[in-house]
Amino acid sequence: MGVCCCKESKEQKLDEIIAKYKDTRGALIPVLHEAQEIYGYLPMGVQKRIAEGLNVSLADVYGVVTFYTQFSLEPKGKYKINVCMGTACYVKGSGDILNKLSDVLKIKNGQCTEDGLFSLDACRCIGACGLAPVIMINEDVYGRLTADDIPDIIKSYKEKEAEAV
């Protein structure tokens, strides 16, 4: 995950990525992925830099960013919660899970908590249908959930944060 914080080093990293892919066909999506790793999301300035660097139009870049749900125009939390809305998870009640998360975190789908700790998104099938309903928090997978499991899961991350301080 991206750890650098200063603007210059982020831009430098982005330019390196663009340079790496510059002459590759179909470079846009991998560049967007790596750019999102650095920035956590894809603000206009980043998209403009990618458009100029890859010699494609900003309209093209923005079209791709808004087509794929993995790409985000909004900043993400330190812990990115993705609630799977694939068919299996959906019928197993992932809608309730999403609502519960929304209640507990006091944010809507697509938003980020004020302290920047959690962001909440509904996503497409993550391929763990056997564990439905499933959520992911960063790279960790939680399966066979009920809405009642949610408060404890969130609590565990909050505690982890408190310890780190």
Partner 1 sequence: MSDFVTLTIDGKEVKAPVGSTVLEAAKIAGIHIPTLCYLKGINEIGACRMCVVDVGARSLQASCMYPVAEGLKVVTNSPEIRESRKVTLELILSSHEKKCLSCVRSINCELQKLARDLNIQDIRFEGEEQNYPIDDLSPSIVRDPNKCILCRRCVAVCKDVQTVSAIETMDRGYNTIVASPFHMPLKDTPCVNCGQCITACPVGALREKSSTEKVWDAIANKDLHVVVQTAPAVRAALGEEFGLPIGTPVTGKMVSSLKKLGFDKVFDTDTAADLTILEEGTELVSRIKNNGKLPLITSCSPGWIKFCEHFFPDMLDNLSTCKSPHQMFGAMLKSYYAEKAGIDPAKMFVVSIMPCTAKKFEVQRPEMAAVGYPDVDEVLTTRELAEMIKEAGIDFVNLEDESFDHPMGEATGAGVIFGATGGVMEAALRSVPYLLTGKDPEQVEVNSVRGEDGIKTAEVEIAGIKIRAAVAHGLGNARKLMEKVRSGEETYHFIEIMACPGGCVTGGGQPIQPASVRNDIDLCAERAKAIYQEDEASTFRFSHHNPTVKKFYEEYLGEPGGHKSHDLLHTHYIARENYPEN
Sign of the dihedral defined by the CA atoms of residues 10, 11, 12, 15, in that order: positive
Nearest-approach distance from CB 162 to partner 1, in angstroms: 36
Least distance in angstroms from the C-beta of 49 to partner 1: 11
Q: Should residue 67 be labelled a site residue for partner 1 when binding is judged by CB under 8 A?
A: yes
The least distance separating partner 1 from the CB of residue 2, rounded to whole angstroms, comes to 20
From candidates 5, 6, 59, 165, binder to partner 1 by CB under 8 A: 59
CB-count exposure of residue 60 (10 Å: 0-12, 13-18, 19+): middle
- Residue 61 is a binding residue for partner 1 (CB under 8 A): yes
Which residue among 12, 20, 22, 44 contacts partner 1 (CB under 8 A)?
A: 44
> Which two structure tokens, joined as six digits, stand for 110?
């697509």
